[in-house]
């Protein structure tokens, strides 16, 4: 999720080309196998009286789930086309959706001025940043969290590269939804596992908990099982 014009346009093109149907994106699994599995990892740390920001919300699948558990949910994404998808998928208006570049700390501070301290939920966003925008992104997240908010971040682990490359180099080529990611030039970059918590510490946030889990994708292996991609998660915030 970079702010550079070329990469931003690549995301706009990806979301414009994507069908509205649920699960059209490689990572757009049902909330029951995504945010619902994450919830036990972070709910003990999140103050449920605060709003929650789904950062990099895409078409809002996880935002709508989180809206049922927090008083106010706001999905933000760099791509206006993603925000359009999210709004179309939410006719009841369970959540609010905004176009926002989270690496723009001034924009993050402006949202914080509107919302107050907020909890932040994100998946894979650091891997979608240009390397020089990763620390500014986390600075923006810290601004959104303020003193009371907490952050849940789930990012691809180092082991994910082997899984993704194995899929890409399979006999039939990559699965269609992964092929679309490659074709639009939005394949995730590499971030060392140890760099993720370091970004949060450098932004003044303490790492309160961390562990490993897997991303359930919307593609299937030949045996009919869901393809899983290894990830690492953490919870961060300012200790009270």
Tens of pLDDT, residue by residue over 149-207, are 999 999 999 999 999 998 888 888 888 999 999 999 998 889 999 999 999 999 999 99
Give me the numbers of helices (H) and strands (E) for the chain, helices first please: 9, 7
Place of tokens 């709004």: 87
Q: Is 209 exposed, middle or buried (0-12, 13-18, 19+ CB in 10 A)?
A: middle
Q: Are 155 and 187 in contact (CB under 8 A)?
A: no
Q: 61: closest CA among 154, 1, 144, 123? A: 123
| Confidence grade of residue 211 (pLDDT, cut at 50, 70, 90) | very high
Per-residue pLDDT at 2 exceeds 50: no
**pLDDT band at residue 72, thresholds of 50, 70 and 90?**
very high
Write out the H or E segment, with its range, that includes residue 64: helix 61-67
pLDDT at 3 over 60: no
Tokens of 27: 């990572």
Please state the rounded mean pLDDT for residues 61-86: 96
pTM over 0.85: yes
Q: Residue 1's pLDDT is what?
A: 46
pLDDT band at 239 (very low <50, low <70, confident <90, very high): confident
CATH fold group of domain 5-237: Rossmann fold (3.40.50)
Q: Report pLDDT digits (tens) over 115-127.
A: 999 999 999 999 9
Strands 226-237 and 52-55: unpaired
Residue of higher predicted confidence among 102 and 99: 99
């Amino acid at each position: 999720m970079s702010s550079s014009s070329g990469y931003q346009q690549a995301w706009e093109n990806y979301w414009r080309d994507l069908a509205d149907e649920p699960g059209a994106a490689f990572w757009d699994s049902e909330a029951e196998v995504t945010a619902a599995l994450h919830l036990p990892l972070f709910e003990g740390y999140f103050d449920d009286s605060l709003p929650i920001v789904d950062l990099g919300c895409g078409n809002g699948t996880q935002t709508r789930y989180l809206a049922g558990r927090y008083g106010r949910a706001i999905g933000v994404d760099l791509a206006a086309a993603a925000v359009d998808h999210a709004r179309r998928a939410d006719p009841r208006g369970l959540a609010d959706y905004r176009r926002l570049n989270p690496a723009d700390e001034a924009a993050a501070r402006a949202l914080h001025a509107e919302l107050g301290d907020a909890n932040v939920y994100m998946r894979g966003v650091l891997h979608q940043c240009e390397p020089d925008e990763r620390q500014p992104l986390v600075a923006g997240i810290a601004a959104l969290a303020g003193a009371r908010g907490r952050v849940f971040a789930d990012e691809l682990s180092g082991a994910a590269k082997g899984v993704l490359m194995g899929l890409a180099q399979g006999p039939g080529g990559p699965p269609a939804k992964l092929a679309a990611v490659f074709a639009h030039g939005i394949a995730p970059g590499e971030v060392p596992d140890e760099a993720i918590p370091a970004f949060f510490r450098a932004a003044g946030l303490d790492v309160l908990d961390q562990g490993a889990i897997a991303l359930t994708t919307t593609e299937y292996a030949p045996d009919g099982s869901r393809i899983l991609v290894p990830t690492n998660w953490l919870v961060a915030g300012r200790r009270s």
